[in-house]
Amino acid sequence: MQTNCLKFPKVALVLIGVAVSVAGCLKQEKFPVEPVIEYKSFEQFGDSASMVFKFTDGDGDIGLDEGDTNSPFDTASTFYNNLFLEYFELQEGVWTPVDLPIRYRIKRITPTGQNKTLEGEIAIAMQGFPASFALLDSGQVRYSIQLVDRALHLSNVVQTEAISVP
């Protein structure tokens, strides 16, 4: 009888060891507190377009609520918007920035649970594309993209590929 009693604790220890090993595989991702973005795609749809980029944020403070209008998010502030695009045209073989600020206000993305890290994709609907570029000579444009979180951490800057404007 004692032999069977000794086997049970060994089996229990093995199961506990397996459980700890599996829990170790479920480690939370560690991302920097600054947003990190990666350009994914740009698609044209008649008179509009969609730009998609991936993002991560270690402390989960991406986006703003409609009520976030106190400083530094007031309407007179640069940070009223939290997504910034810079527009470039290909002019005589050189990518030239055009003074055409494009700003978006991304809604708050709130992580659930104790893990506050965020990872996902954001798609931007760009109305009036390509009609707004009717005077473009080269037919090629691109954008740079930067995201800012609620702690005013700026992301890296990424660029789209060359986009042909019909």
In the block, which residue shows the tokens 């995201």? 147
Q: Which residues pair with 52 in a beta bridge?
A: 41, 123
CATH of the domain at 116: 2.60.40
- For 154, the token pair is 């700026």
Dihedral sign for Cα atoms in the order 101, 34, 159, 120: negative
**Which tens digits make up the pLDDT trace of 65-123?**
999 999 999 999 999 999 999 999 888 889 999 888 899 999 999 788 888 899 999 99
Residue 18 falls inside a structural domain: no
Q: What pTM was estimated for this model as a whole? A: 0.78
Q: 31, 57 in Cβ contact below 8 A?
A: yes
Domain count, the chain: 1
Q: Which residues pair with 50 in a beta bridge?
A: 43, 125
- Domain span including residue 103: 36-164
Residue 40 falls inside a structural domain: yes
